[in-house]
Amino acid sequence: MMTPSDVKATLSFSDGSPSMELPLYKGSVGPDVIDIRKLYGQTGKFTYDPGFLSTASCNSTITYIDGDKGELLYRGYPIEQLAQNCDFLEVCHLLIYGDLPNQEERVKFVKNITYHTMVNEQMQFFLRGFRRDAHPMAVMTGLVGALSAFYHDSTDVHNPQHREIAAHRLIAKMPTLVAMSYKYGVGQPFIYPKNSLSYTGNFMRMMFATPCEDYEPNEVLVRAMDRIFILHADHEQNASTSTVRLCGSSGTNPFAAIAAGVACLWGPAHGGANEAALQMLEDIQRNGGVEKIGEFIKQVKDKNSSVKLMGFGHRVYKNYDPRAKLMRETCHEVLNALGLHDDPLFKLAMALEKIALEDDYFVSRKLYPNVDFYSGIVQRAIGIPVSLFTAIFALARTVGWIAQLNEMIGDPEYKIGRPRQLYVGAAPRQVRPIGER
Ligand code: ACO
């Protein structure tokens, strides 16, 4: 619900055109917004904001970020408390239904998700059409889009029951699909879900068991993976979430909209950064390790080099990403549990972080570690191949995408998303016959 503010903004023009009064709305926390919906109708002008640097594309009750403080809330709860006290499925319930489940709601929700984890047997034949060396994100984009071909009975986005079943199916089936795309890539048989395990324990078993040898989930590693899921579950109107909203605004089915989110997430400036961050650490390690950090930082600072410190910087956080702090802690736990406390990549990451946090280039630009800086080291220690990192991010973010999509569709004011533009191309001109061009 948007609360009008007593304050109004006035937009005036230096050419004598009539000025316009614009209403403001207040957020429950965070910045107010200036409502420009009537701007074009009244002035014939658009606003210009490529990259949405100053534009709120919607109102939402799901996630709040204070980038200056380094604060992240899901439905009002601080991420630190959720990461320490809840499991991923409780967080899914929170994001989808608006609050943490009580005991009874928890049992019901876990059961619903557990009994949707199998995928239609035919999906494996669809998967088998891919090359074995395909990137898992290429496969996941296809598989998630293909769900709409397998689950026709939950594709009407305007039907709340369809939306709920699609939500349960997507949350439940993503681990199965990610594990299948991994098994296919390494040439191992698919492992079916096992209902006696937790959501995350089941995912790890589907990843690491084989028909010849079962996988006993290690509690520390399952907890670490579950935390990765919680930390990545939602992040308000980021690129992939905005993609899901825009795609879904046409009324397309939820599976198609989420597939668009998976495709967007793949990019190295977004979800692909965890893969890129680990590759960067491995490159530095190969080329001399800690000794070579100075040289690497010099390249990062060189404007002609296009080298970036991956896992650093964020559009919204101009302070330490709270998820990065939790991930750093998890990284310690996992490496200790596996007897890898001397892991050279972790040491390199900590040294790199220390130097960057003291360097004026990073300090003046408010560039701090983001969640991806440490999540790659954790996943690698668990045994997840680097090429699967972004698919795991997609698995975790699916719940956020669905919550945001359902919020948009349920809003009576929602309209198809249709940005406008400043046209700077050719003025009207005539097509000349080919011989005269
Ligand atoms: N390394 C070096 N310089 C950087 C970095 C970085 N990681 N990030 C930003 N900068 C510099 C820019 O070059 C720019 O410098 P300038 O003012 O001299 O031109 C300044 O800092 C501001 O950066 P922008 O790119 O304008 O910031 P923007 O908000 O557009 O980009 C982004 C944010 C894309 C995340 C960027 O910081 C980046 O590319 N980081 C590395 C990739 C990464 O880790 N992405 C993960 C994001 S978190 C997530 O998706 C879960």
The best mutation among 52, 265, 304, 312 to test binding of ligand 1, ranked by most ligand atoms within 8 Å of the C-beta, falls on 312
| pLDDT tens column, 255-297 | 999 999 999 999 988 888 888 888 999 999 999 889 989 999 9
Establish whether residue 36 lines the binding site of ligand 1, counting it when its CB lies within 6 angstroms of any ligand atom.
Answer: no
| pLDDT tens column, 111-125 | 999 999 999 999 999
**pLDDT at residue 1 tops 80:** no
Establish whether residue 310 lines the binding site of ligand 1, counting it when its CB lies within 6 angstroms of any ligand atom.
Answer: yes
Establish whether residue 363 lines the binding site of ligand 1, counting it when its CB lies within 6 angstroms of any ligand atom.
Answer: no
The partner residues of 66 in beta bridges, in order of sequence, read: 71
Which residues are within 8 A (CB) of 337 and not within 5 positions of it... i.e. 6 or more apart? 218, 220, 221
Alpha-carbon torsion (416, 422, 425, 427), positive or negative:
positive
**pLDDT at residue 178 tops 80:** yes
Which residues are within 8 A (CB) of 409 and not within 5 positions of it... i.e. 6 or more apart? 157, 158, 163, 248
Does residue 32 have an active-site annotation? Answer: no
The HSE-up count of residue 81 (CA atoms within 13 Å, CB side) is: 9
Catalytic member of 135, 232, 314, 321: 314
**pLDDT at residue 242 tops 90:** yes
Angstrom distances, CA of residue 319 to CA of 71, 232, 357: 9, 18, 11
Q: Do residues 222 and 200 touch, judged by C-beta distance below 8 A?
A: yes
Cα–Cα distance, 101 to 123 (Å, whole number): 32
Establish whether residue 314 lines the binding site of ligand 1, counting it when its CB lies within 6 angstroms of any ligand atom.
Answer: yes
Whole-number pLDDT of residue 274 = 85
How many beta carbons lie within 10 A of that of residue 347, not counting itself? 14
Does residue 372 have an active-site annotation? Answer: yes
Establish whether residue 2 lines the binding site of ligand 1, counting it when its CB lies within 6 angstroms of any ligand atom.
Answer: no
The best mutation among 242, 300, 315 to test binding of ligand 1, ranked by most ligand atoms within 8 Å of the C-beta, falls on 315
Whole-number pLDDT of residue 40 = 96
The best mutation among 236, 303, 314, 389 to test binding of ligand 1, ranked by most ligand atoms within 8 Å of the C-beta, falls on 314
Establish whether residue 136 lines the binding site of ligand 1, counting it when its CB lies within 6 angstroms of any ligand atom.
Answer: no
